[in-house]
């Protein structure tokens, strides 16, 4: 009898611990997973409790330093970023019926003013039968793709190349006035200045 009662008490205690034990610690991730953003872009915060169903939990996202709280579901999109949005972010969540709150790791983001692409040329003169490499740079931040334009006449231009890969270098064989643009996020075009590339004539080779 005593052993039976003890077994029942142990089973009851085990069920209480399963039901009302400590809440799991949430994990905060961001998408895109960049550390540096630019004015006008967006970032999605995701808070994952790694247990139960999403509607079992209450969430909020907060800017730790500024103490700004965004009530949210599991995912929250912060749009139209500006430099004031920079800082450390954290998500907190708890079971709706228990009101037990746990907070996640922190994620640091930096928001800068819109950048300008930087275009450099290996040479401004293409040798006869040769080529020149153009390079487009958007600085240390990640996620950039590139497009290349060549001015034809007046304000008209043609698309030389638009990469779906993060390839910032192209080799050109035609003279002209070139420009590059960095593509990412929304708004997604950040253009460089123009660079003039000339072709060496056959006559120049004999001078």
DSSP 91-123: EEEEETTT--EEEEEEEEEEEE-----EEEES-
Mean predicted confidence (pLDDT) in 105-125: 92
* 21 beta partners: none
118-200 belongs to which homologous superfamily? Immunoglobulins (2.60.40.10)
Q: What is the CATH number of domain 22-112?
A: 2.60.40.10
Per residue in 160-202, pLDDT tens? 887 666 778 999 998 899 999 988 876 567 889 999 999 886 5
The domain spans of the chain are: 22-112, 118-200
Cβ neighbors of 189 (< 8 A, separation 6 or more) are 147, 181, 182, 183
Query: How much of the chain, in percent, has pLDDT values that exceed 70?
Result: 76
pTM for the whole thing? 0.71
Where is pLDDT greater, at 152 or 203? 152
Contacts of range 160-167, beta carbons closer than 8 Å, 24 or more positions apart: none
Per residue in 97-106, pLDDT tens? 666 778 899 9
């Amino acid at each position: 009898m005593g052993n039976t009662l003890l077994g029942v008490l142990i089973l009851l205690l085990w069920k209480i611990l399963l039901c009302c034990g400590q809440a799991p610690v949430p994990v905060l991730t961001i998408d895109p997973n960049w550390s540096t953003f630019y004015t006008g872009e967006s970032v999605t915060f995701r808070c994952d409790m790694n247990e139960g169903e999403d509607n079992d939990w209450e969430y909020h996202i907060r800017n730790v330093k500024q103490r700004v709280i965004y009530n949210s579901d599991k995912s929250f999109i912060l749009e139209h970023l500006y430099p004031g949005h920079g800082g450390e972010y954290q998500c907190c969540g708890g079971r709706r019926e228990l009101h037990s709150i746990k907070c996640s790791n922190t994620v640091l983001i930096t928001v800068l003013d819109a950048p300008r692409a930087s275009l450099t040329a290996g040479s401004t003169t293409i040798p006869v039968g040769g080529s020149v490499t153009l390079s487009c740079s958007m600085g240390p931040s990640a996620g950039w793709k590139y497009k290349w334009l060549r001015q034809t006449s007046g304000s008209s231009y043609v698309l030389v190349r638009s990469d779906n890969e993060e390839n910032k270098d192209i080799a050109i064989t035609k003279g002209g006035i070139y420009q590059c643009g960095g593509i990412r996020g929304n708004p997604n075009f950040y253009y460089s200045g123009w660079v003039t590339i000339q072709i060496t004539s056959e006559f120049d080779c004999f001078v």
